[in-house]
Structure 1
Amino acid sequence: MAIQFEDKFKRKFYYLRLSVTDVCNFKCTYCLPDGYKPSGRKNSSFLSVPEVKRVVSAFASCGTSKVRITGGEPSLRKDFNDIVQAVASTKGINKVAMTTNGYRMESQVAQWRQAGLTHINVSLDSLDPRMFYQITGENKFSNVMSGIDRAFEVGYEQVKVNVVLMKDLNSGELPAFLHWIKDRPIQLRFIELMQTGEMDSFFDKYHKSGVSILNELIANGWIPKVREANDGPAQVFIHPDYKGEIGLIMPYEKHFCESCNRLRVSAMGKLHLCLFGEQGVELRDLLQEDTQSDALIERIQTQLQTKSVSHFLQDGNTGMTPHLASIGG
């Protein structure tokens, strides 16, 4: 292994979130309420499979062991299975995850598993088909639910389900979600609504603090689960009476950034040190040849020394990220 990627606050980075497209076919109210709109960039091709392989290899050689493939909706890439295979075959990578809206899972999840995908996160913001449609703009609830069932059929022992809880929309569904995971090996991850540049008024209207959910879980006998080094930001809770687990992602919590262990690369090949950070650092010029890996590693490590101690969301700073689909959430 080369140097371990580490910033000036001694945080080590075991986890890469790699976006492979910013295109999505859903119109979720908190992310792309008006649907996907091409940016109009010139030469705006997404990272190729060889470029993906090179960037993942550089991260793996510096201590990264987990890669999450994100979008937009990553399965919209026709070469998605090739991307999974390229990541999974990289020495040092032992977890290959994806985040998906789930609409293609039923038909394709067996192929994803065969290609080397080890973990799946599915976005599912409601167990009510009508509310699902209201939030996503798509009448695909039954497709997503069938896809989750299919994932278990093809051999996944656990599926993670991401839920953005929003006040006066789906926040009243907590009891239904808890009932749903009682006998299912699902890790239900409640994600606190995050404020981005284009979503100020939406945030003000629908934000619900994760602390209220945390207090309710603890009062009802849920206990914290021990974290692994390459785990994401969720605080995970387990209960003796439940087969499923609960994860809470609360970015407004005071010490949220202290355990940061992840970096992001956009579908256009830019390094982002934080979801709510900066314009990004160009890596693509160093992804054209296998011989450029040393220069690539040096550029990433140099930029890491500029990573801030916090995202400063708790101070009302929304950063420069226009919406979550732009760099993979």
Structure 2
Amino acid sequence: MAQQFEDKFRRKFYYLRLSVTDVCNFKCTYCLPDGYKPSGSKNSSFLTLPEIHRVVNAFADCGTSKIRITGGEPTLRKDFTDIIRVIADNSNIQKIATTTNGYRMERGVAEWKEAGLTHINVSVDSLDPRMFHQITGENRFHQVMSGIDRAFEVGYKQVKVNVVLMKDRNHHELPLFLNWIKHRPIQLRFIELMQTGEMDDLFTKHHISGVTIRNQLIANGWILKVRENNDGPAQVFVHPDYQGEIGLIMPYEKNFCDSCNRLRVSALGKLHLCLFGEQGIELRDLMQEDAQEAELISRIQMQLQNKSVSHFLQEGNTGMTPHLASIGG
């Protein structure tokens, strides 16, 4: 095994978020309110299966044990199940996850599980079908709920549900969400609304701190769980009376970046050291042959020395990211 990926702040990277498309069929107000628009790039074809195989092997050989397949909406790729299989072929990858809007789950999740998908996150920003429609631009609430039910039927022990917190939209639904997970093994993950280059007005109007939710949880007997080294950034809380869990992702909290353990590769093959950072570092030219792995690893290791100590979101820096779909959130 090659040397573990590590930056100059001694942070080790066990987790790769691999985008396979930036196309999405939803129009979420906080991400793609006007719907998906192609970038118009000359080299706009998304990573191929052999390229995915090579980049996964390079990361796995440097200590990465978890890969999350992201988008856009990753299940829009016709070869989505093949992508899972390609990643599962590497025995060093212990967790293979995806984040999906859930619209294809009911008919596809059994096949994904058989291919090797170990963890699943579904975006559900409201338990009110009308508000769900208002936020996502799609009237598919019941379809997504059926997909979550199907995931349990085919053997998933837990499903994670992502909820982007928005003042005056869904923040008042906490009691409804808590009731929903009382007897269901769902980890609800409340994600603070993040400011990106195209979303300044929305952020100003709807941002609410996750600290508000955390204070309510602690006051009601919820207890913080210990993180594993390839876990995501959520602070996860459990309660003896609840089968479900609550995760809070609060990027504006001081020291949020201290525990950073993840890197991102975009659907066009660029390495992103941070969700809110630079234009990305080209890797695709080194994904064309198996013999290029050492050079690919070397380029990543060299670029890691340029990773900043923080995203500086708390200082109002939104970086170069126009919207979250562009590099997989």
Q: Output the TM-score relative to the length of structure 2.
A: 1.00
Deviation of 1:43 after TM superposition, in Å, equals: 2.8
Which residue number corresponds to residue 160 of structure 1? Answer: 160
**What amino acid is aligned across from residue 82 of structure 2 in structure 1?**
D
Q: Deviations over 1:217-244 (max 9, x none)?
A: 0000000011111000000000000000
Give SS of 1:50's match.
helix
**What amino acid is aligned across from residue 132 of structure 1 in structure 2?**
F
d(CA) in 2 for partners of 1:44 and 1:145?
33
Q: Is 1:17 matched with 2:20?
A: no
Which residue number corresponds to residue 299 of structure 2? Answer: 299
Which residue number corresponds to residue 209 of structure 2? Answer: 209
d(CA) in 1 for partners of 2:249 and 2:165?
11
Deviation of 1:89 after TM superposition, in Å, equals: 1.1
Q: Is 1:309 matched with 2:309?
A: yes
Spell out the pairing of 1:83-162 with structure 2 (5 A cutoff): 83-162=83-162
Which residue number corresponds to residue 81 of structure 1? Answer: 81
Q: Deviations over 1:64-91 (max 9, x none)?
A: 0000000000000000011000011113
Which residue number corresponds to residue 47 of structure 2? Answer: 47
Give SS of 2:97's match.
strand
d(CA) in 2 for partners of 1:167 and 1:227?
28
Give SS of 1:198's match.
coil
**Superposition CA RMSD, Å:** 0.4
d(CA) in 2 for partners of 1:142 and 1:204?
31
Q: Deviations over 1:188-233 (max 9, x none)?
A: 0000000000000110000010001010000000000111110000
d(CA) in 1 for partners of 2:281 and 2:51?
16
Q: Deviations over 1:110-148 (max 9, x none)?
A: 010011000000000000000000000000000000000
d(CA) in 2 for partners of 1:87 and 1:39?
27
d(CA) in 1 for partners of 2:72 and 2:223?
33
Q: Is 1:274 matched with 2:261?
A: no
> Does structure 2 retain, via aligned residues, the 8 Å contact 1:57–1:91?
no
Q: Deviations over 1:4-55 (max 9, x none)?
A: 0000000000000000000000000000000000111113100001100100
Which residue number corresponds to residue 71 of structure 2? Answer: 71
Which residue number corresponds to residue 319 of structure 1? Answer: 319
**What amino acid is aligned across from residue 26 of structure 1 in structure 2?**
F
**What amino acid is aligned across from residue 202 of structure 1 in structure 2?**
L
Q: Is 1:245 matched with 2:245?
A: yes
Which residue number corresponds to residue 36 of structure 2? Answer: 36
Q: Deviations over 1:275-299 (max 9, x none)?
A: 0000000000000000000000000
d(CA) in 2 for partners of 1:40 and 1:199?
21
d(CA) in 1 for partners of 2:39 and 2:250?
30
d(CA) in 2 for partners of 1:237 and 1:204?
28
* Structure 2 unaligned regions, length at least 5: none
Which residue number corresponds to residue 2 of structure 1? Answer: 2
Give SS of 1:177's match.
helix
d(CA) in 1 for partners of 2:186 and 2:14?
24
**What amino acid is aligned across from residue 195 of structure 1 in structure 2?**
Q
Q: Deviations over 1:81-110 (max 9, x none)?
A: 110000111131010000000000000000
Which residue number corresponds to residue 60 of structure 1? Answer: 60
User: Which runs of 4 or more aligned residues in structure 1 lie more than 3 Å from their structure 2 counterparts after TM superposition?
Assistant: none
* Structure 1 unaligned regions, length at least 5: none
